[in-house]
Chains A and B, each alone.
Chain A
Amino acid sequence: MKIRKLSRITAIAAVGSLALAACSGGDSDGESSASDNVFTIAYNSDGGHQAWVDATANSIKNVLGIEVEGQPYATFAELRTDVGDRAMTGAFRTGWQADYPTLYNFLGPLYGTGAGSNDGDYSSDEFDSIIKQGLSAPSIDEANVFFDQAQEVLLADLPSIPLWYSNVTGGYSENVDNVEFGWNSVPLYYQVTKADGTAVLANGSEPENPLVPTNTNEVGGGRIIDMIFTGLVSYDAAGEARNELAESITSEDQQNWTIKIKPGTTFTNGEPVTAQSFVDAWNYGALLSNAQKSSYFFEEIAGFSYEEDSELTGLAVVDETTFTVALNQPNAAFPLQLGYSAYFPLPESAYADMDAFGTAPVGNGPYQVVEGSWQNNVSIELEPNEQYSGPREAQNSGVKFTFYESQDAAYNDLLANNLDILDAIPDSAFGTYEGELGERAVNQPAAIFQSFTIPQELEHFEGEEGVLRRQAISLAIDRQSITDTIFLGTRTPASDFTSPVIAGWSDSLAGSDVLQYDPERAKDLWEQANEINPW
C-alpha cells in the first residue's frame, strides 16, 4: 500500500519536475536582454546551411566570448519577408551567384545605395562614385581597377562579412566523356560525349516557372533555357564572353550601343531571328503588367518604369539585323551582360499565348525540347536542334534531365551509374566522393559568394563602434578551418567580395587582412568597441 502510494507520488513528481525543468531550461528565446546580448545569424533551414552557421557561430563565440547563435527560419518566404521589411534583429545569410561574369554584378546590385538587393541598407557616397567611374570607363580592364578600389571601401566598412567562395562540386559516370563545367557551375552539356550514343542522363530540378527566358530566375529552369535558346553573346568555360548571334556590339560613349546581329539564323519553327525578335522580347520582359521576374535586367535601358506600363524608348530597330540601345547611364560592361538569359530573343508566335509557349517553348539554341517529354516534377528531354550552327553545337544525341528533390538520391544514382552527370555533390558525400569517383570527381571554383550581412541600423553596429565590431567579428572567424572541416575543401576562404572566376579578381586588395583569422586582434577591437558602448 505504502509502496504503491509512494511510487505514485514519485511518478507525479518526476513528470512535474521535468515539466518545470522544461520551463526554465528551454526558456532561451534568442531575444537580447540587457546583460545577455545574443548575436544571431539567420538562415533558411531548408538550404543545408545549419552546419556552417553553427561552426561560424562557435568560432566567433570561442574567440570573443559572447553568445552567438544560428537562427533558423522554417521557410525561405519568412526570411525574405523579414529581411525585406527590415525586421531582422541580427545578421542574416547572404549568398550571391553571378548573373554574368563581371565584377560589377557582385558589387552594384548589393551595395549601391538603394540597389535592389542591398538588404542591409548600406550607403556610401564614396563607393557609389567609384562605381560610377568604373561604369563609364572606356574598357573592361580600366573599369575593373575602379571596381577593386570600390571593394577597398567595402573592406573598410564591412556591410557584410565575406565568408568564402563556393566551389562547384560534381561528378560523372563511366559512360560519358568530355565533361566540363562552365563558369556558372552548370555543366557544358553540349560537349559531353556518350559511348553508346544514347541520351546523356543529367540531374536537374523542376523549373519553378514556365520556360520563358524573362521569367526564369532559378537554376532549374535556367539550365534548360540556356540550352534551348541562344543570345547575342555566350560565355565559355572560363567566363570569357564571345559573340554568338551578335556580329558586333559597339559604342562611343558606353551609353548608346549599336548591336548588329548575324543574318540567316532561325528559330526551330522556321521564323528568322531578327533585330525585332530581340527588341520585342526585351520590351515584353520589361513591361510592368507582364510581371516578369527578371524585368530588373532592363532597368538601365531608357524608358523602363516600375510605375506604369511603358515601352523601352531606348530600343530602336534600325534594320533587320541592327538595333540600338540607349542606356540611362554609361555601362562599360553592358556587352558582357548580354549572355544572360533575360536578353534572349523570342519568336513572334510566343506572344499569342505566353503561358502555352512556356510549356512548349520554341527557341534557337543548340537543343530543343522533345515534344511532350516534360513530365512535371519528373523529367524533361532535350534533343539536338539541327538548325543551330554556332560554337555550342551538340556532341551527343540529347540530354535527359531527371528532377531530384534531394542531392543524396542523385548521388546514389550516380554511384550506381544510373545518372551520367551530377552537378552538385551532397554535403554527406564531401568526404567520400573524391575517393569514390576518382578522376570523375569535379571540384573547381565557381562564381558563388557567401557572406552574412549585418544591417546598417542594427544596435551596436553603427558608426565607429559598428566598424570596430564588424572587423572584430570578421577576424574571429576561422574560415580556413571551417572550409577544411565542414566543407572538406569544397569552399575557398574569401579574400574579397567577388569570385576568383571573374576576370579582374584580385586577392591582394588593401584591407583584405580583415578577412584573415586573428583572434588577438579580434578581441582587442571588440574591447575597444566595448569602451565606446558596452555590449
Chain B
Amino acid sequence: MPEIFHPESGSPAQPSTRPGQGHFVADVRETPLAVVDSVNETEAPSSLWGDAWRDLRVRPLFWISATLILLVVVVALFPSLFTTVDPKFCELRNSLGSPQSGHPFGFDRQGCDVYSRVIYGAQASVTVGLLTTVGVVLLGGTIGALAGFYGKWWDTILSRVTDIFFAIPLVLAAIVVGQVFSNGKTVWNVVAVLAVFGWPQVARITRGAVISVKNNDFVTAAKALGASKLETLVRHVIPNAAAPIIVVATVSLGTFIVAEATLSFLGIGLPQSVLSWGHDIAAAQTSLRTNASVLFYPSAALAITVLSFIMMGDAVRDALDPKARKR
C-alpha cells in the first residue's frame, strides 16, 4: 500500500494543521477515497469462474436444477434403492394393467412393471444423454472454435468436413458404426453413433458465436497485451461465446435421449437386455390408441431430466455472462 508521501518531511503524513489553516485535511486512508486506493490483500484474486460461482450460488434456479440433477443421477446409479420389483419380470396377464399396490404406474404391454422400468431405465438413458452431449460439445466445440477463430484454411477445411458429416443419415451411421463393435453392443456404441451424428450442429453454432465475438474490442485488447492466439481463444473468446453453445448442448441432451428411442425403434440402438426409456417409449407406440399412460411415464421422466439440465444450463449461462448487470 503506497504510503502517502509527504514531500517536505519525508515521513508518513500526520493530520496536519499548518499555521493559518482553518480546516482539517484528513489522511487519505481515513476518507472514502481510501476505497479507491485500497486493495484487499486477503481476498483471493477474482476470475471469470470465481465470479460465476459466486453468482450461481445465490440463484434459486441453480439449486433447484442441481437437486433435480442429483436426484436423477442417484436414481441412475442406485436403482435398487428406489424399487424392489424386477423390471424384467413380465407376465402377459398383467398387460396394460392399471396401477395397483406395489405397482404405482401400472403395467406395460408385455406385463412388466412400468415404475421399475422407469427407475432402471434411467441409467442407460441418462448415460447416453450425458456422455453424448459431453462428446459432442468437446468434439464439435473444438472444431467449430478452431474454424471460427483461426479462419482461412482452418475454416475452409473444417467447415467442409462439417458439411460432409452433416449430411450423413443417422440410420446409416448407426448401422455401420454398430458393425464396428460387432462383438457386443453397449452404451458406448450408441454414444459413438450419436456423437458422430451430432457434432456438426454444435460445430456450426460454435463457429458462428466465435466469429461474432472475435471482432470485439476486448479480443484486440488481449492480443495487444500479448496473449497468444490460443490463450485469447480459450480464456477470452470461448467464455463469451458460451451462451449459444450451452443452449444447444442442453436442448440436445434431451434430443439425444429421444434419438436413442428412435434407434431402439429401428432395432439399431441398445440391445434388448439393456433397459432404457428409449426402448419403452418406442414400444409404447403401438399402445397409443388404447393406453397412453405407458408412454406418459418414461416421457415424463425424460422431460424432468431434460428440464433440469436446461435450467442448469440457463443458470450457468446467466452466471457466465459478463455483460449481465445485477438489476
User: A36 to chain B: closest CB distance in Å?
Assistant: 11
Complex contact A22–B109 (CB within 8 A): no
User: A479 to chain B: closest CB distance in Å?
Assistant: 11
- Determine the chain B residues whose CB is within 8 A of the CB of A356 once the complex forms: none
Knowing A18-B130, A19-B131, A51-B286 are in contact, say whether A25-B183 is a contact too (CB < 8 A). Answer: no
A1 at the binding interface (Cβ < 8 Å): yes
B126 at the binding interface (Cβ < 8 Å): yes
Interface mask (B270-314 → A, CB under 8 Å = 1, otherwise 0): 111110000000010111111000000000000000000000000
Knowing A15-B130, A22-B123, A54-B272 are in contact, say whether A1-B289 is a contact too (CB < 8 A). Answer: no
> Which among B53, B92, B265, B274 has the highest number of chain A CB atoms within 10 Å?
B92
- Determine the chain A residues whose CB is within 8 A of the CB of B130 once the complex forms: 15, 18
CB contact between B77 and one of A18, A31, A69 (< 8 Å): that residue: A18
Knowing A4-B53, A51-B286, A432-B290 are in contact, say whether A30-B92 is a contact too (CB < 8 A). Answer: no
> Interface size class for chain A?
35 or more
- Determine the chain B residues whose CB is within 8 A of the CB of A72 once the complex forms: 267, 272
Within 8 A of B (CB), among A37-66: 44-46, 48, 50-51, 54-55, 58-59, 62
Query: Which of A187-195, A305-313, A480-488 lines the interface with chain B?
Result: A480-488
Complex contact B274–A58 (CB within 8 A): no
Complex contact A22–B187 (CB within 8 A): yes
Complex contact A51–B283 (CB within 8 A): yes
- Determine the chain A residues whose CB is within 8 A of the CB of B50 once the complex forms: 4
A28 at the binding interface (Cβ < 8 Å): yes
A75 at the binding interface (Cβ < 8 Å): yes
Interface mask (A230-259 → B, CB under 8 Å = 1, otherwise 0): 000000000000000000000000000000
Query: How long is the Cα–Cα vector from A482 to B95 in the complex, in angstroms?
Result: 10
Knowing A18-B77, A428-B287, A432-B290 are in contact, say whether A75-B175 is a contact too (CB < 8 A). Answer: yes
B91 at the binding interface (Cβ < 8 Å): yes
Interface mask (A417-456 → B, CB under 8 Å = 1, otherwise 0): 0000000001111011000000000000000000000000
B186 at the binding interface (Cβ < 8 Å): yes
- Determine the chain B residues whose CB is within 8 A of the CB of A17 once the complex forms: 77
CB contact between B186 and one of A22, A50, A429 (< 8 Å): that residue: A22
Query: How long is the Cα–Cα vector from A69 to B274 in the complex, in angstroms?
Result: 11
A496 at the binding interface (Cβ < 8 Å): no
User: B298 to chain A: closest CB distance in Å?
Assistant: 16
Interface mask (B60-76 → A, CB under 8 Å = 1, otherwise 0): 00000000000001001
B248 at the binding interface (Cβ < 8 Å): no
CB contact between B289 and one of A15, A44, A432 (< 8 Å): that residue: A432
Knowing A69-B273, A72-B272 are in contact, say whether A46-B127 is a contact too (CB < 8 A). Answer: no
Query: How long is the Cα–Cα vector from A18 to B130 in the complex, in angstroms?
Result: 9
Knowing A23-B186, A74-B178 are in contact, say whether A428-B285 is a contact too (CB < 8 A). Answer: yes
Query: How long is the Cα–Cα vector from A50 to B288 in the complex, in angstroms?
Result: 16
Query: How long is the Cα–Cα vector from A18 to B184 in the complex, in angstroms?
Result: 19
Complex contact B289–A29 (CB within 8 A): no
Complex contact A29–B285 (CB within 8 A): no
B244 at the binding interface (Cβ < 8 Å): no
Complex contact B76–A1 (CB within 8 A): no
User: A7 to chain B: closest CB distance in Å?
Assistant: 8
User: A40 to chain B: closest CB distance in Å?
Assistant: 9
Complex contact A22–B124 (CB within 8 A): yes
CB contact between B109 and one of A3, A28, A426, A486 (< 8 Å): that residue: A486
Complex contact A26–B124 (CB within 8 A): yes
Complex contact B187–A58 (CB within 8 A): no
B-side interface residues, number (CB < 8 Å)? 48
CB contact between A69 and one of B93, B272, B286 (< 8 Å): that residue: B272
Query: How long is the Cα–Cα vector from A17 to B268 in the complex, in angstroms?
Result: 25
A280 at the binding interface (Cβ < 8 Å): no
B57 at the binding interface (Cβ < 8 Å): yes
B150 at the binding interface (Cβ < 8 Å): no
CB contact between A45 and one of B57, B109, B126, B266 (< 8 Å): that residue: B266
Complex contact B92–A482 (CB within 8 A): yes
Complex contact B95–A485 (CB within 8 A): yes
User: B162 to chain A: closest CB distance in Å?
Assistant: 26
B83 at the binding interface (Cβ < 8 Å): no
> Which among B50, B265, B288, B289 has the highest number of chain A CB atoms within 10 Å?
B289
Interface mask (B4-20 → A, CB under 8 Å = 1, otherwise 0): 00000000000000000
A351 at the binding interface (Cβ < 8 Å): no
Complex contact A59–B185 (CB within 8 A): no
Complex contact B123–A25 (CB within 8 A): yes
A27 at the binding interface (Cβ < 8 Å): yes
Complex contact B76–A478 (CB within 8 A): no
Query: How long is the Cα–Cα vector from A28 to B272 in the complex, in angstroms?
Result: 9
User: B178 to chain A: closest CB distance in Å?
Assistant: 7
Complex contact B273–A30 (CB within 8 A): yes
Knowing A4-B53, A51-B109 are in contact, say whether A22-B92 is a contact too (CB < 8 A). Answer: no
User: A321 to chain B: closest CB distance in Å?
Assistant: 53
Query: How long is the Cα–Cα vector from A31 to B175 in the complex, in angstroms?
Result: 19
- Determine the chain B residues whose CB is within 8 A of the CB of A62 once the complex forms: 89-91
> Which among A21, A30, A71 has the highest number of chain B CB atoms within 10 Å?
A21
| CB nearest to B90 among chain A residues | A58
Within 8 A of A (CB), among B163-208: 174-175, 178, 183-188
Knowing A29-B185, A51-B110 are in contact, say whether A428-B289 is a contact too (CB < 8 A). Answer: yes
User: B155 to chain A: closest CB distance in Å?
Assistant: 32
B25 at the binding interface (Cβ < 8 Å): no
A170 at the binding interface (Cβ < 8 Å): no
| CB nearest to B190 among chain A residues | A26
- Determine the chain A residues whose CB is within 8 A of the CB of B267 once the complex forms: 44-46, 50, 72-74
User: A122 to chain B: closest CB distance in Å?
Assistant: 28
A14 at the binding interface (Cβ < 8 Å): yes
User: B79 to chain A: closest CB distance in Å?
Assistant: 10
Query: How long is the Cα–Cα vector from A46 to B264 in the complex, in angstroms?
Result: 11
| CB nearest to B49 among chain A residues | A4
A366 at the binding interface (Cβ < 8 Å): no
Knowing A46-B266, A72-B267 are in contact, say whether A431-B131 is a contact too (CB < 8 A). Answer: no
Interface mask (B124-137 → A, CB under 8 Å = 1, otherwise 0): 10110011001000
Complex contact B126–A50 (CB within 8 A): no
Complex contact A22–B131 (CB within 8 A): yes
Within 8 A of A (CB), among B70-102: 73, 76-77, 89-93, 95
A221 at the binding interface (Cβ < 8 Å): no
A335 at the binding interface (Cβ < 8 Å): no
CB contact between A31 and one of B92, B178, B184 (< 8 Å): that residue: B184
CB contact between A21 and one of B53, B127, B184 (< 8 Å): that residue: B127
Knowing A18-B127, A431-B290 are in contact, say whether A26-B266 is a contact too (CB < 8 A). Answer: no
Given A18-B77, A69-B273, 19 other A-B residues pairs in contact with their CB atoms under 8 A:
A4-B50, A18-B127, A22-B124, A22-B127, A22-B187, A23-B186, A23-B188, A25-B274, A28-B184, A28-B271, A29-B183, A29-B184, A31-B184, A50-B283, A54-B110, A74-B267, A75-B175, A432-B290, A485-B92
Can you offer 10 A-B residue contacts whose CB atoms are under 8 A?
A: A18-B76, A26-B187, A26-B188, A28-B274, A29-B183, A51-B109, A55-B92, A69-B272, A73-B267, A481-B92
Interface residues of A (CB under 8 A from B): 1, 3-4, 14-15, 17-19, 21-23, 25-31, 44-46, 48, 50-51, 54-55, 58-59, 62, 69-75, 426-429, 431-432, 478, 481-482, 485-486
